[in-house]
């Protein structure tokens, strides 16, 4: 793992900003791991994921007694063990409470898609810090085919 790269990633002002807040997919460029071996790059990104989750605790009014993890990361023993060590409380996959971790993200995006089709906001000032409720998404219909 590249400690200097990890420190640079964690120096992003996002981590100090209070919620509500949101990130864009381009806020952390892959250049952060350029030139690292595959193993060092993966280890650095895994450590960054763990450290960024741990950093979020500073914005909670009370410390969580348990963390539930969904998405593919819940299958990654390095991430799960790292989270358990960094957070110091139980960290479990969402299946531990009866949720389907493979379907949860798809269900969330389906909910957002229906809201988008109805012209309803997807992002709110209280959730992401946008200045006003914002719609999102663009519906692209297939071109008609001649019979």
- DSSP calls for 3-36: HHHHHHHHTSGGGTSPSS----TTSS-GGGGTTS
Q: What is the pLDDT of residue 143?
A: 86
Please provide residue 91's backbone torsions phi and psi, each rounded to the nearest 5 degrees. Answer: -130, 115
Could you give the angle at the alpha carbon of 82 between the alpha carbons of 67 and 100, nearest 5°?
45
Q: What is the pLDDT of residue 78?
A: 97
Q: Are 107 and 118 in contact (CB under 8 A)?
A: no
Q: How far apart are CA 52 and CA 31, in angstroms?
A: 18
Q: How far apart are CA 26 and CA 35, in angstroms?
A: 19
Instruction: Single out the residue of 27, 81, 88, 21 nearest to residue 54, CA to CA.
Output: 88
Q: How far apart are CA 120 and CA 56, in angstroms?
A: 29
The pLDDT profile of the chain, 147 residues, written as one tens digit per residue, is 889 999 999 999 999 999 999 888 888 888 889 999 999 999 999 999 999 999 999 999 999 999 999 999 999 999 999 999 999 999 999 999 999 999 998 999 999 999 999 999 999 999 888 999 999 878 888 887 765
Sequence-distant (6+) residues with CB within 8 A of 8 are 32
């Amino acid at each position: 793992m590249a400690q200097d790269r990890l420190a640079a990633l964690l120096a992003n002002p996002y981590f100090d900003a209070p919620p509500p807040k949101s990130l864009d997919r381009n806020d952390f460029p892959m250049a952060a791991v350029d030139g690292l071996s595959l193993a060092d790059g993966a280890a650095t990104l895994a450590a960054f994921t763990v450290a960024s989750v741990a950093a979020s605790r500073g914005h909670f009014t009370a410390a969580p007694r348990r963390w539930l993890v969904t998405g593919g990361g819940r299958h990654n023993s390095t991430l799960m063990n790292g989270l358990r060590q960094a957070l110091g409380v139980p960290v479990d996959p969402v299946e531990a409470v009866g949720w389907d971790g493979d379907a949860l993200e798809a269900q969330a995006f389906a909910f957002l898609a229906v809201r988008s089709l109805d012209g309803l906001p997807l992002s709110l000032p209280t959730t992401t810090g946008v200045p006003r409720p914002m719609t999102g998404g663009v519906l692209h219909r297939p071109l008609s085919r001649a019979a």
